[in-house]
Structure 1
Amino acid sequence: AGTIILQKQIVRGLTTAAGIWATAGIGLAVGAGMYVISIAATLLTLAGLELLSILFKSVGMKSSMITFSTGNKDILKEVSDRFKSRNYMLVSYKMERLGSGDTERYIVTMVIKSKRSNDEGHMLSLMQEWPDVTVEQIE
């Protein structure tokens, strides 16, 4: 359970934690002398993990986090509308104001889900359409 990490509203490590528990159970079965059950459990675990990874890659949505800065507070609505029109799902966002007056900047962090994997390049090109937006990070 210690491998499950909540990182800025993205959960990581669930499969690893489940694999550790399965390995512990298989190890207990081997230690108790239940070799046939251990081999069957190992084969079922490996098959399940492989099949689920193939299934979730084709069906599931991938979470990405984008951090950008801008001097225009109203740009957040434009950015979120653009992502929604391109079949992305905005999960959450956080906006932080730095400075004041003419030097006012906003740091925005958005968590976006997409059906495509390795979609960071497409997201970057969408963000570059606004000259006042500086992309800090995409993960």
Structure 2
Amino acid sequence: VRKQAINGLTTAAGVWTTAGVGMAIGAKLYFIGVSATVIVLLVQIILRHNFKWMPLPESEQIDIEFDKIADSIAFIQKKFASNNIEIINLSADKNGNDSIHVELFVKLPQGYDPTRLMDLFKDNPHVKSIEY
């Protein structure tokens, strides 16, 4: 897991599966080894297609720079909660120029347009910049 993304999971599963099939063939369990190979190939062929019908949550990374005010984190949390946006991870750093840099990973509701994220903070005069 790096920066809220999982990498290498299918590769690891493939290595374990290949080892299992190899062990079955090595133990002279040819039927089990060949059957497992056929099943794995069929599953790979079927699941390789992009399933549009399967809803997947969309997540975004957002960087916000605020003026140094006491309730800036609470303001962000309230804004996201009122828009049904779940905060997965939040980190905040003080900048030397009297501002706070907040890095967020958020899970957006189904069908939420990520461009609407900018509109959430446009009415706050303490927001210096927003990037997503």
Query: Does TM-score exceed 0.5, indicating one fold?
Result: yes
- Max radius of gyration: which structure? 2
Q: CA deviation at 1:27?
A: 7.5
Residue 125 to residue 50, structure 1, CA distance change in 2 (3 Å)? same
When the two chains are superposed, the root-mean-square deviation of aligned CA atoms in Å is 3.2
The match for 1:78 is 75
- Counterpart of 1:62 in structure 2: which amino acid? E
Q: CA deviation at 1:12?
A: 1.9
**CA distance in structure 1 between the partners assigned to 2:2 and 2:63 by the alignment:** 18
Contact kept? 1:26, 1:42, Cα under 8 Å: no
Select 2:11's aligned residue among 20, 40, 53.
20
How many residue pairs match? The answer is 123
**CA distance in structure 1 between the partners assigned to 2:58 and 2:106 by the alignment:** 8
Please, which moves more after superposition, 82-91 or 30-39?
Answer: 30-39
Contact kept? 1:66, 1:111, Cα under 8 Å: yes
Structure 2 residue 81 is the aligned partner of structure 1 residue 87: no
**CA distance in structure 1 between the partners assigned to 2:5 and 2:88 by the alignment:** 13
Contact kept? 1:68, 1:135, Cα under 8 Å: yes
The match for 1:38 is 37
Q: CA deviation at 1:30?
A: 7.4
TM-score of the aligned structures, taking structure 2 as reference length: 0.68
Q: Say which structure is richer in helix.
A: 1
**CA distance in structure 2 between the partners assigned to 1:22 and 1:70 by the alignment:** 43
Contact kept? 2:65, 2:127, Cα under 8 Å: yes
- For structure 1, the residue ranges without an aligned partner over 5 or more in a row are none
Please, which moves more after superposition, 77-86 or 115-124?
Answer: 115-124
The match for 1:64 is 60
- Counterpart of 2:128 in structure 1: which amino acid? T
1:112-123 correspondence runs (5 A): 112-116=106-110, 119-123=113-117
Q: CA deviation at 1:36?
A: 4.1
Select 2:120's aligned residue among 119, 122, 126.
126
Residue 65 to residue 117, structure 1, CA distance change in 2 (3 Å)? farther
SS in 2 for 1:68: strand
Percent identity, please. Answer: 12
Contact kept? 1:70, 1:132, Cα under 8 Å: yes
TM-score of the aligned structures, taking structure 1 as reference length: 0.65
